[in-house]
Amino acid sequence: MNAAHLNEGGISAMRLRGLMRKEFLQILRDPSSIAIAFVLPVILLLLFGYGVSLDAKHVPIALVVDEPGAATASFTGSFRHLPYFDPLTLPDMRSAEIAMREGRVEAIVHLRTDFGRKLYQPGGTPVQIIVNGVNANTGRLILGYGSGIWINWLHQYAQINHIHLPASVQVEQRVWFNSELRSRNYLVPGLIAVIMTLIGALLTALVVAREWERGTMEALMATPVTMNEIIIGKMAPYFVLGSGGMLISVGMAVWLFDVPLRGSIWLLFGVAALFLLVALGMGLLISTLARNQFVASQIALIVTFLPAFLLSGFIFEISSMPQVVQIITHIIPARYFVALLQTLFMAGDIWSVIWPNALALAVMALIFLVLVRRISRKRLD
Amino acid sequence: MPDSSDVASGAVVTLSGVSRAFNTAGGPVQALDNVDAIITRGRVTGLIGPDGAGKTTLMRLISGLLMPDTGSVNTLGFDVKEQPLQVQASMCYMPQRFGLYEDLTVQENLDLYADLQQLPYAGRPERYAELMHMTGLAAFAARLAGQLSGGMKQKLGLACTLVGSPKLLLLDEPTAGVDPVSRRELWEIVYRQVSKTGMSVVFSTAYLDEAERCDEVLLLHQGRLLGQDTPAAFSSRMQGRTWHRSLDEGVSKRALQHRLSQLPGVIDTTIQGEQIRLVMAADTAAPDEANLQATPPRFEDAFIAMLGGADTAAIVSDQQPVHIRTTDNDQLPVIEVSGLTRNFGTFQAVKGIDFSIRRGEVFGLLGANGAGKSTTFRMLCGLLPASHGELTVAGVNLREAPSSARSRIGYMSQRFSLYGSLSVLENMRFFSSAYGLGRQQRKMRIDWACKQFELGEVIATAANDLPLGYKQRLAMACALLHEPDILFLDEPTSGVDPLARREFWHRINLLAEQGVTVLVTTHFMEEAEYCDRLVIMAEGTILAAGTPHDIRMEAAATGRPADTMEDAFITLIHRQPEFATA
């Protein structure tokens, strides 16, 4: 036996191959890790992709016209032709209010008496929109769409009738990067970041703890294997598995949810690989400390998944968070990955965004791997 | 480079002034205390000692998985503090729960360990063939390790540790829970390797008869090395202190054993076939008893004597006997089983067995792991429904009214089922309320249990912090709080050291004398001697049934010697036609 091979940093190709083959065989025979890597992203993407939409579509609203006429008919008609609303014409405000209380409609659009006349008066308010504020998000959307429809209609009405309207403020709206204003376009890339956090951390959090629980770690440690070999032997197979999960997620985003991918696919997988290293490192760290599968999985959910969900900017805009929370988001790896994914999907290869975020991920990956290496010692105490 | 002086002196491990402490919830524990020893090359050395003596800690220190607080450990010429990887490259350690990957096949496990030991590919086919042949695993190469029997798993573990032809082999309780046949086969493999390759072996065991097989024994107790010598030298210290007392007409073995254990100067009594074996304290004359005969000492006698004897004198007959329901007809069996079968999918764990147990009997259910004992047991307790067959406990058919039978049953499981974070008193309070005892009765029974099981001094200790022997007592106390007249004990002595096991059987004897029916499972064959009647199970069927004497006679009838229950077991199992192939 050549003693030179046997230092803590040494790596033997034969041992590493043995460890990795063992890990792959275990992955193949234990459906749970395959489920985490491949089934979990599909379920989460379907759930969030279809379930969570921040767009309003087919919102039931009540239309109340006090004094029907040509102008009112033209205006209500513009509500009927849009996919955002399902209008219901009601005879008076009383029945509309009842419908709102009963939850049959989310908003009331009230066209008052003298609609046609008030149009020409400066400061006249011929239309009232009452919104159910219980669901604040939908409420805001209805108001936004409602006033948009009103302005558009006024504009058209004035053009057709060759009249000058005092109320017509000309608003020119242009939306960049997500011109259809589909919330899915930014939700899905963010969601991929959350999913990859969960997969990466959960996969490795379970596997080292499992070896401790089943007593295989003690037997492993009694062999001349080095800690570097054990760590690489754990990281490499789950890196492959996690990359598979990433591939599935990106595929679903592009082909199922029609999210545009404007950046380079190679860049996308490059930053994903970097992030996967961070997530796997977190999982290994948790697993090494916990030595118990149940505890490790709970910790993994609480310290990786939840912050990634809430503080990464995936749903909740970071710039609108309190100052303290904004500072905390800087230690959440998913924050950088969300920014990278949203940019790569919707805007393209914007290097001024990619460089700082990728650098942050690289630093974090290094920190976690160094930490794992330092706390993993070939000792049982 | 190995230290040449050590090589010359033939030391494989040198321990000098080794101490090691651990911090536990209950404060620091000194696992090893200033141990000095030299383990000789090319020999089989046994680490013997009761539970918590420091055996596992010592093995981990020798293999460089733990570092000593003070002192030094030199293994194969390397200081384990400086060069743990060099140590691990030339030795192999098989931990108590050997880490086989259960979702890998036999061959894949071997491949993994060959890779880890960097065995060159060229030599592998030959080495594999040799190991497979030796362990009898060749036919199971493609089977998942998780689907092997307990004995085969241990053999595979041994094969994995032997794959790199280590110079030193450390085995931590390699035979715990393994059936007698596999146990013998394991030792044959080890001894063949020693004689063939000159390998050194250090092993620990709870089976004292295995200590007799060692070249040398290190006797550990509470972290201290009590002695290092050959087993014969240990035994010879007991010369003139060991006696056989044959039975009297009309007196039960258990009653006689109990009476003898209370005599002054007696430090150990065991039932051995149709005799009681007595061990006397040093410089004590043999008791004034009839039918006494000198017998040669064993290693076990020295072990018990050096550890101060089992504390059985304190276990006295109860002032307040267990209340026995007298309405039942004493002639009827308390437990009756016929055609009992249990299937798990296509696998038949229990294949239509019959037996019956009378009141006040100690009835043993013996067999190796996987013989169907635990499945039978769970069906009897009403924890698992039977697939077919009839099952009557205390006159109640378990299929019709399991709960009314359960109130008369006390149950103690293999893992003791205690609440680890609750104190001894809180555990007893919980179990008494679970069985629906009233306030008055509860207080009375807890007082009784504290006295009977000597739990008074640990009453406030959390169950997790108790030594194993105390845990076992507490578990038994909890099972007896509601004064059951039937007691089910599932492997109550598994993992418990010989001293605690002796105490335990004394308590069981007393309960049986008071009329409690006891059904007990065990894989310690010598414990069968404590049973009035027993069945030996193998592969879901009953191999033999009757009194210990009957079973030994039945085995002796085949022409092989059957002095001990273990010999009898092995003889009977070899009689099975299907066994010849396995």
Higher pLDDT residue, B102 or B369? B102
Q: What is the C-alpha separation between B531 and B247, in angstroms, rounded? A: 16
The overall average pLDDT reported for chain A is 83
| CATH number of the domain enclosing A124 | 3.40.1710.10
Q: Are residues A186 and A331 in the same domain?
A: yes
Could you tell me the strand order of the sheet in which B541-546 lies? B409-412, B486-490, B517-522, B362-366, B533-538, B541-546
For residues B435 and B445, is the Cβ–Cβ distance under 8 A? no
Give chain A positions within 8 Å (CB) of B24: none
Whether residue A123 sits in one domain with residue A227: no
Interval B311-320: pLDDT, tens:
555 555 544 4
- Of A161, A193, A219, the position where a domain reaches its end is A161
Given a cut of 80, is residue B402 above it in pLDDT? Answer: no
Quote the minimal CA–CA distance from B185 to chain A in Å.
22
Residue A170 lies in a domain: no
Q: Can you read off the two tokens belonging to residue B31?
A: 């696992």
- Please answer yes or no on whether B65 and A224 come within 8 Å at the CB atom: no
Q: Are residues A259 and A317 in the same domain?
A: yes
Give yes or no for A1 touching B (CB within 8 A).
yes
Cβ A6–B93 below 8 Å, yes or no?
Answer: no
CA distances from A300 to A203, A207, A263 (A): 10, 12, 31
**pLDDT computed for residue A165 by the predictor:** 62
The total number of residues shown for chain B amounts to: 582
Is A173 within the bounds of a domain? no
**Same domain flag for A28 and A80:** no
Residue recorded with tokens 């087919």: A58
Q: How many CB atoms lie within 10 A of CB A371?
A: 16
Residue A241 domain flag = yes
- Burial call A80-113: b when 16+ CB within 10 Å, e when fewer: eeeebbebeebeebeebbebbeeeebbbbbbbbe
Res. B9 pLDDT band, cuts 50 70 90: low
> Mean of the per-residue pLDDT values for chain B?
84
The mean pLDDT of B454-473, rounded to a whole number, is 82
Residue B380 in this model has a pLDDT that exceeds 80: yes
pLDDT of residue B552: 87
User: Do the chains contact at B95 and A1, CB–CB below 8 Å?
Assistant: no
Task: Say whether both A278 and A340 belong to one domain.
Answer: yes
A5 domain-assigned: no
Range scoring the smallest mean pLDDT among A67-76, A170-179, B293-302, B455-464? A170-179
ipTM over 0.85: no
Q: Are residues A191 and A260 in the same domain?
A: yes
Structural domain for A199, as ranges: 18-52+182-375
pLDDT surpassing 60 at residue B3: no
Q: Please, are residues B491 and B52 in contact by the beta-carbon 8 Å criterion?
A: no
Using an 8 Å CB-CB cutoff, list chain A residues near B111.
Answer: 18, 21
Which positions in chain A touch B117 (Cβ < 8 Å)? 223-224
Average pLDDT over residues B233-237: 90
CB contact under 8 A, A26 and B97: no
Q: In terms of domains, do A114 and A135 share one?
A: yes
Query: What CATH number is given for B239-306 in this structure?
Result: 3.30.70
Residue A4 lies in a domain: no
pLDDT at A9: 58
Are both A64 and A123 inside the same structural domain?
Answer: yes
Residue B170: exposure state from Cβ atoms within 10 A (0-12, 13-18, ≥19): buried
Question: In 3-state terms, what secondary structure has residue A127?
Answer: strand
**SS3 readout for B505-533:** HHHHHHHHHCCCEEEEEECCHHHHHHCCE
A22 vs B contacts (CB less than 8 Å): 101, 104, 108, 112
User: Largest alpha-carbon pair distance within chain A?
Assistant: 101
- Report if residue A10 sits inside a domain: no
Label residue A82 left, alpha or beta by phi (over 0 means left) and psi (-120 to 50 means alpha).
beta
For residue A215, give how far its alpha carbon lies from the nearest alpha carbon of chain B (Å): 5
Instruction: List the one residue out of B258, B231, B260, B259 whose CA is nearest residue B243.
Output: B260
B93/A222 touch (CB, cutoff 8 Å), yes or no:
yes
B119-146 confidence digits (pLDDT tens): 999 989 999 999 998 888 888 889 898 8
Highest mean pLDDT among B248-252, B436-440, B563-567: B436-440
Q: Whole-model pTM?
A: 0.77
Q: Are residue A132 and residue A196 in the same domain, yes or no?
A: no
- Identify the residue with better confidence: B461 or A5: B461
Considering only CB atoms, which chain B residues are within 8 Å of A19?
112, 115-116
The CATH architecture assigned to B4-229 reads 3-Layer(aba) Sandwich (3.40)
Same domain, yes or no: A131 and A75: yes
Bigger pLDDT: B438 vs A115? B438
Interface of A with B in 16-75 (CB under 8 A): 17-19, 21-22, 25-26, 29-30
Of residues B328 and B493, which shows the higher confidence score? B493
The confidence score (pLDDT) of residue B580 equals 41
pLDDT, residue A116, reads 74
* pLDDT of B547 above 50: yes
- State the pLDDT at residue B292: 85
pLDDT band at B113, cuts 50/70/90? very high
pLDDT tens track for B186-207: 899 999 889 988 899 999 987 8
Question: Which residues in chain A are closer than 8 Å to B99, comparing Cβ atoms?
Answer: 211, 214-220
Please state the rounded mean pLDDT for residues B91-95.
Answer: 90
- What pLDDT, on the 0 to 100 scale, is given for residue B2? 44
Residue from B82, B118, B119, B202 to probe the interface with A (highest A Cβ count within 10 Å): B118
The nearest alpha carbon in chain B to A21 belongs to B112
Give pLDDT < 70 ranges for chain A. 1-9, 52-56, 121-125, 136-137, 164-182
Nearest Cα of chain B lies from the Cα of A237 at a distance, in angstroms, of 16
Test B98 with A378 for CB contact under 8 angstroms.
Answer: no
Under 8 Å between Cβ of B182 and B154: yes
What's the gap in Å between the CA of B159 and the closest CA on chain A?
Answer: 13
User: Which residues in A199-221 are b (16+ Cβ under 10 Å) and which e?
Assistant: bbbbbbbbbbbbbbebebbbbbb
What's the confidence (pLDDT) of residue A7?
Answer: 54
Give me the residue from B64, B112, B170 closest to A18, CB to CB.
B112
Domain boundaries, chain B: 4-229, 239-306, 417-483
Residue A3 touches partner B, C-beta closer than 8 Å: yes
Instruction: Identify the pLDDT of residue B578.
Output: 52
Whether A73 maps to a domain, the answer reads yes
Is A11 within a domain?
no
